[in-house]
Amino acid sequence: MLIGDLVKLTGLSKDGLRHYEDLGLIHSRRVPAGSRSYRRYDDTTPERLALIALGKRLNFQLREMAMFLNRLLADQISRDERREVLLNKVAQVDAKIADLQAARTELLAFAATPDKEVVDLRLKEMGLALK
């Protein structure tokens, strides 16, 4: 399948697909066609792209996925190793949630008293006082 076929099938851009390839998430082979060449992707590429989409939805970074996607598709990751990867990601998500909740609390406090003096005082407390 050619890159244009993948664009139509997935809705991803050619640049996005090339980026995934640069990261090692998908693979193609160059097929010469006269003075040009085309990227030809194998039949497993749509499945790989579906797993990438799922991984992104679950907050995995592309570089994280590149480390284990080939092993996952080849069924070379044990059940325990999969669990460990997922639990580590849960811990990262929990930390991000805590950071966002703290930001929300602080935003609400500023919104309750949106005076410049309140902001200046908070900046001073943080060691970021403006002169």
- Structural domains present in the chain: 3-77 (1.10.1660.10)
- Outline where 113-131 has alpha helix (H): 116-125
Over the stretch 58-73, which tens digit does the pLDDT of each residue have? 999 999 898 888 888 8
Q: Quick one: average pLDDT of 10-34?
A: 93
Query: pLDDT value at position 131?
Result: 63
Please choose, from the candidates 9, 95, 84, 92, the residue with its C-alpha nearest in 3D space to the C-alpha of residue 46: 9
Over the stretch 66-104, which tens digit does the pLDDT of each residue have? 888 888 888 899 999 999 999 999 999 999 999 999 999
Query: pLDDT value at position 125?
Result: 87
Q: To the nearest 10°, report the CA torsion of 38, 41, 43, 44.
A: 180
Q: What is the rounded distance in angstroms from the CA atom of residue 17 to the CA atom of residue 35?
A: 23
CA angle 21-25-29, nearest 5°? 45
Q: Quick one: average pLDDT of 99-116?
A: 92
